[in-house]
Amino acid sequence: TSLQENIRHFETLAAGDGESWNRAVTDFMARSDLGFGLLGTELWSWDGLKFMVKGLRQLGVEGTMEFGSQLLGSSRSWLTETFQS
């Protein structure tokens, strides 16, 4: 499926949900190297420390804290805060 088709479909569910989906995908893709890198890194190791430094350099302290809080939040909270439908 295409991003544009998904945006149109989300808009049929609730006004604004298409834009919310587009923003979520765009934000994730901008940090996908961190998101996927996190899955393959042992956090309590030198590689984990290097990964944290990479995140800090890429996002800054505030951005890293925001990214971390998003990862630690529940899916349900994210869905209800992001979408109307």
Per-domain boundaries in the chain: 3-82
Task: Enter the pTM of the model.
Answer: 0.78
Instruction: Determine the Cα–Cα distance for residues 65 and 53; give it in Å rounded to an integer.
Output: 13
The angle, 0 to 180 degrees and rounded to 10, between the axes of the packed helices 3-13 and 17-30 is 140
* Nearest in space to 37 (alpha carbons), one of 50, 27, 51: 51
CA distances from 42 to 52, 70, 82 (A): 11, 19, 30
Instruction: Determine the Cα–Cα distance for residues 18 and 8; give it in Å rounded to an integer.
Output: 6
Residue-wise pLDDT tens digits, 14-48? 999 999 999 999 999 999 998 888 888 998 999 99
Residue-wise pLDDT tens digits, 46-76? 999 999 999 999 999 999 999 888 888 899 9
> To which residue do tokens 């479909």 refer?
9
